[in-house]
Amino acid sequence: MDLLGSCVSTAVECCTAETCDGDLPPSYGQIDSRHQDPRDEESIDRMFFGGAKSAGGGLPSLGTVSTASLSGGLGGVHSLSVRPGGLTLPTSGLLQPPVSIFGVPRGQLLSSNSSSTAGVLGLPDTFKSNGARQGQEPLTQLPPRAYFERDSAEIASFTRPPSSSSPVTLSSGSVYSGQWKRITLKTSSSENPSKIEGTTTKWVRHGTGQMSWPDGTKYVGEWHDDKAHGKGQLDYASGADHYCGEWKENRCDGFGVYIHGETIFYGEWKNDRQQGHGVESWGEGSKFEGRFENGVKNGHGVYVWPDQSEYQGTWQANKLEGLGLYTAEDKNFRGEWKNSLIHGLGIYRWGDGRSYAGEYVDDKKHGFGTFLWADGRRYEGFWRVGKQEGPGIFTRRDGTQIEGVWLQGKRTN
């Protein structure tokens, strides 16, 4: 009975998926409005000069803070690693023990000051820049081990061989049908624990078998010494949640597929949580492939939206963090991120030839930066909260330059 092989080969056919409402990833639709700049001559003049066209005098030169030094600081950005290859299936459980995913709220809505971590499946949390990701219903099912261990005490009391040919109904209403194993235990004196006085026999679930619980939850697979261990499939009573894969001592451990409605994760697990490489996909077409630690996206990963826009770079605790490349049909950004916002040095390019190279703080141009137009115009200077503020130099198409001081996007002298 190769449950795992069947599950891996079909990705979903091993488990029956149903629609999971409200499980859509963000569209990043506001990335235009966060970086738009004037495109017409008149608005450019109004924005930069406020109607004053003459050059101001006596301003310090900005040559010491040119884009040459800025671009030098982006060397690490340009060496960003490329998208990882396909999933390599492990042959055994991997990596460090994390925390159980079960019984944790799914897809919690996070903000920049939230300390929460991901919910079940490590679903992408809210990107503060667009707020498109919504919270989802709490996951109500119990951890798998809570089911498996529920009847262990009663089974441990069996002194006669249960029937392997007919189901065994327990006092809780749970039903097991499958193979058993006899275990002989030595008994010792209560007064002298080192002295063996005799033996006792008990029977445990061992081999292949099926366990069903009164609420409708069912497990089919392998057992070892009364624990789910090996390959098996757990179907929750909800009908929407399924795990098909490898187990170790009543926990998801090894390679496995977890399905919640149309949301699917397949990859590496440890101690009931994603750990290692994994692929997560949603019914409307979004997909994440990358590294997980303790059930959250951590390390290098690639997220693709339904419109084929893409982020590839580093993640930390389910958020974009460190160096990353965002690409879309008519724009791209390569640079630094913090808390899922553009933050630090970066280069943003538009499809019409415009570009900005410089500093960002919380998704806005802030610090020193250079903005270029496709026709050769250029602004080099300081920015504050997305607008020109401080000393700067504007270069026209004919090469003439105007130095000045800007306040909230307008030249003041």
Q: Which CATH architecture has domain 37-132+262-413?
A: Single Sheet (2.20)
Residue 193's pLDDT is what? 67
CB 308 within 8 A of CB 286: no
CB 342 within 8 A of CB 323: no
Predicted TM-score (pTM) of this structure: 0.66
User: Between 138 and 384, where is the model more confident?
Assistant: 384
Is pLDDT at 293 greater than 50 in this prediction? Answer: yes
Mean pLDDT of 72-79: 28
Residue 281's pLDDT is what? 92
Is pLDDT at 254 greater than 50 in this prediction? Answer: yes
Cross-strand bridge partners of residue 367: 383
Residue 143's pLDDT is what? 78
Is pLDDT at 327 greater than 90 in this prediction? Answer: yes
pLDDT tens-digit readout, 126-163: 222 222 232 333 334 567 888 999 998 898 888 777 87
Mean pLDDT of 215-231: 96
**In whole numbers, what is the pLDDT of the chain averaged over residues?**
70
Residue 287's pLDDT is what? 94
Residue 353's pLDDT is what? 95
Domain residue ranges of the chain, discontinuous segments joined by +: 37-132+262-413
User: Between 370 and 239, where is the model more confident?
Assistant: 370
Q: Out of 30-44, 204-218, 370-384, 385-399, which region has the weakest mean confidence (pLDDT)?
A: 30-44
Mean pLDDT of 228-243: 93
User: Between 193 and 342, where is the model more confident?
Assistant: 342
Q: Out of 92-101, 230-239, 269-278, 322-331, which region has the weakest mean confidence (pLDDT)?
A: 92-101
Residue 37's pLDDT is what? 36
User: Between 342 and 137, where is the model more confident?
Assistant: 342
Is pLDDT at 391 greater than 70 in this prediction? Answer: yes
Is pLDDT at 191 greater than 80 in this prediction? Answer: no
Is pLDDT at 87 greater than 80 in this prediction? Answer: no
Mean pLDDT of 189-200: 68
Is pLDDT at 394 greater than 80 in this prediction? Answer: yes
Is pLDDT at 30 greater than 50 in this prediction? Answer: no
Residue 40's pLDDT is what? 32
Is pLDDT at 183 greater than 60 in this prediction? Answer: yes
